Every structure is written in C-alpha cells, then in structure tokens.
C-alpha cells in the first residue's frame, strides 16, 4: 500500500479526508502532522488525536508550527468549521499526546526512513512543508511526491475573491513550496469546487457507517449550513477528501503543468499566479475532475468504517 502522511488543520473536510485515508486499503497512513488554518495549531493537534481515538487508530501525530512564515499570526475564522473545528461538536481532550518531535522534524525523518516511497498530502497551509524543506535540502528528493490541497488556477478564491484559504493563510510558505521544484500535484478549487456533496450524501453515509460516518454527518451539518448561507452550492465542497482520492485514483483528474508563484501582499495576497516563459519547474495542476466517481470512491471506502 501507498505510504502516506497527511499534514492537516482539522477542520471538517480534513476529518473527512483523514477517515478516508484510514478506510482506503490502498493507503498505509503512517502519521499526521498538524498546522493552524481552520483552527489554531494546538486545536488542530487535539482534533487529529480525537479523530484517531474515535477511529481506534494509534498512529503518531506530530504538532506543527503555530504561525505563518512571515505574516503575523491571525485568528482562525470560526464561520466555516466552527470555533473548535468540527462544527458544533464538542471535542473532548484525547488520551494520547502528540510526539515530542515537531512536524517538520518528523516529516524529515520519515522521508529519510522511507526513501522514495512516502507520499505527503498537505491539506492545510504549507508552513510545515516549507520548514521541512529548509531543515533538509534533500527532503523533496526523499519523497515519492506530494499531493497538495491548495490554490486555484482559474476558479478564483474562496476566502477572498483571489485566494484559496490554504494559500491565503501562509502565502510565503505556499510560494516557497511552489518554487522548490518538488514532484507535486495541486488539487485546488478548480476541481474541488465541483465535488459537492449534499446533506443526503451524509445521511446515507451515516446509515452505512453509524459511528464514523455518523460523526462526519454531524460535522457536515455545520459545514453545509455555511455553504448554503454563502449561497454558492447545494451541499459542501469536498476539498481535502478530493486530494486524498487523487493520491490513489489520479486517473479521475486532468492535470496541466504550470510554473507558479503566490502573491505575497495586498488585496490579492494568497492568489496563485502562473509564470509564463519561465525556466522554473512546473507542477501538475488539476483542472478537471470526474466528480461523481470521486464521490463514489469516497463513499465506498468511508462506508466500510464501523
């Protein structure tokens, strides 16, 4: 199976992505690293540990950095994922703790230990990933590759008109990672805005998988309420789960190679921009998706969780 680590800011769609990775037989989930974004980093760590505890999985969690590379720390907005990250769900303090090692240290060590075999799937701001690259210049070449939820090529933003949330929360980290020349695929809003699941999807999921599907159903209520208030979609955007599906079913996605940069300040901070005529290394940007197949793949796997 594919050795995988998820860097995450759980977050409702993060929880969906993590449970999918636990359920899919093609994935060997080695650990989680945490970052701020949907919630603060300590809350992200607590939420990650809580979710693993609920799923009965004892893999390591390494806590990541608490603030963006350059920008001042900013308060997470509770409107999308709720003040604690999982909608209106209370998140009790989990039994287990995070590793003593930080997320960048853990990532560097695991990439060395699994030379050429480890796939990294960041589904939050890229702060820890940029730090790991700085810590070990061979970090990228030690990885099998990265599949990143972030950015937007033509779809516009979701947190501002220009920026996707993960890039917006740490534009300097996103820009650093895009310049690095890693083998990498971006699963951004161009495709994730098309993978929308209505309430009925989670009702069905909860009836197939009462405990874990039920947990996602309860979280999704809040997430869908938000999306409906915004008035854009009938249902919620499956951003992070789409990135996880792309790890094992890349054939469901169409990609284009682009050399990319990120706007670092002003109104358009966090916007992903293409660099024309550049000698800079291109990354693969997902531009189209077989949305129904992605949703079915997600459902089929998560429905198996008890």
Q: Which residue is nearest to ligand BDR (CB)?
A: 165
Q: Does 120 bind ligand BDR (CB under 6 A)?
A: no
**217 belongs to the catalytic site:** no
Sole window of 129-137, 159-167, 176-184, 223-231 interacting with ligand BDR (rule: CB under 6 A): 159-167
Q: Which two tokens stand for residue 91?
A: 């998140």
Q: Does 185 bind ligand BDR (CB under 6 A)?
A: no
Binding map of ligand BDR across residues 26-65, x = CB under 6 A, - = no contact? ------------x---------------------------
165 near 141, Cβ under 8 Å?
A: no
Q: Does 129 bind ligand BDR (CB under 6 A)?
A: no
Q: Which residue out of 169, 172, 217, 239 is catalytically annotated?
A: 239
Please choose which of Ca ion, ligand BDR, none residue 175 contacts, taking the beta carbon within 5 to 8 angstroms, the exact cut-off set by kind: none
Q: Does 123 bind Ca ion (CB under 5 A)?
A: yes
Q: Which pairs from 201-206 meet CB under 8 Å and 24+ separation? A: 201/235, 201/295, 201/299, 204/299, 205/299, 205/302, 205/303
Residue spans of beta strands (DSSP E) within 205-290: 236-237, 253-258, 260-262, 272-274, 283-289
| Residue 228 DSSP SS3 | helix
166 near 119, Cβ under 8 Å?
A: no
The angle at the Cα of 94, spanning 93 to 99, to the nearest 5 degrees, equals 115
| Residue 28 DSSP SS3 | strand
Q: Does 239 bind ligand BDR (CB under 6 A)?
A: yes
Q: Does 128 bind ligand BDR (CB under 6 A)?
A: no
**136 belongs to the catalytic site:** no
Q: Does 105 bind ligand BDR (CB under 6 A)?
A: no
State how far the Cα of 158 lies from the Cα of 190, in Å rounded to an integer. Answer: 11
State how far the Cα of 115 lies from the Cα of 85, in Å rounded to an integer. Answer: 34
Binding map of Ca ion across residues 220-259, x = CB under 5 A, - = no contact? --------------------x-------------------
State how far the Cα of 273 lies from the Cα of 259, in Å rounded to an integer. Answer: 9
Q: Which residue out of 7, 9, 175, 240 is catalytically annotated?
A: 9
Residues labelled catalytic: 9, 239
Give me the residues that bind Ca ion (CB under 5 A), please: 9, 11, 14, 123-124, 240
| Footprint of ligand BDR (CB under 6 A) | 11, 13-14, 38, 80, 123-124, 149, 158, 164-166, 239-240
């Amino acid at each position: 199976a594919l050795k995988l680590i998820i860097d995450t800011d759980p977050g409702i769609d993060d929880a969906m992505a993590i449970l999918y990775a636990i359920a899919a037989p093609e994935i060997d989930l080695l650990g989680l690293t945490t970052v701020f974004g949907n919630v603060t980093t300590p809350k992200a760590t607590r939420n990650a540990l809580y979710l693993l505890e609920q799923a009965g999985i004892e893999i390591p969690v390494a806590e990541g950095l608490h603030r963006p590379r350059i920008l001042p720390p900013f308060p997470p907005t509770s409107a999308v994922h709720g003040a604690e990250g999982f909608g209106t769900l209370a998140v009790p303090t989990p039994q287990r703790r995070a590793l003593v090692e930080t997320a960048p240290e853990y990532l560097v060590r695991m990439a060395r230990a699994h030379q050429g075999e480890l796939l990294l799937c960041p589904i939050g701001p890229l702060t820890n990933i940029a730090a790991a690259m700085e810590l070990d210049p061979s970090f990228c070449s030690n990885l099998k590759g990265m599949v990143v939820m972030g950015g937007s090529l033509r779809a516009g933003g979701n947190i501002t008109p220009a920026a996707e949330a993960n890039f917006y929360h740490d534009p300097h980290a996103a820009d650093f990672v895009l310049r690095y020349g890693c083998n990498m695929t971006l699963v951004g809003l161009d495709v994730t805005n098309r993978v929308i699941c209505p309430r009925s999807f989670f009702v069905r999921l909860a009836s197939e998988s009462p405990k874990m599907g039920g947990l996602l159903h309860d979280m999704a209520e809040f997430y869908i309420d938000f999306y409906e208030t915004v008035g854009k979609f009938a249902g919620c955007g499956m951003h992070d789960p789409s990135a996880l599906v792309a790890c094992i079913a890349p054939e469901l996605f169409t990609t284009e190679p682009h050399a990319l940069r990120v706007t670092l300040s002003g109104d358009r901070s966090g916007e992903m921009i293409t660099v024309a005529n550049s000698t800079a290394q291109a990354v693969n940007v997902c531009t189209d998706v077989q949305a129904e197949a992605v949703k079915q793949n997600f459902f089929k796997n998560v429905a198996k969780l008890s």
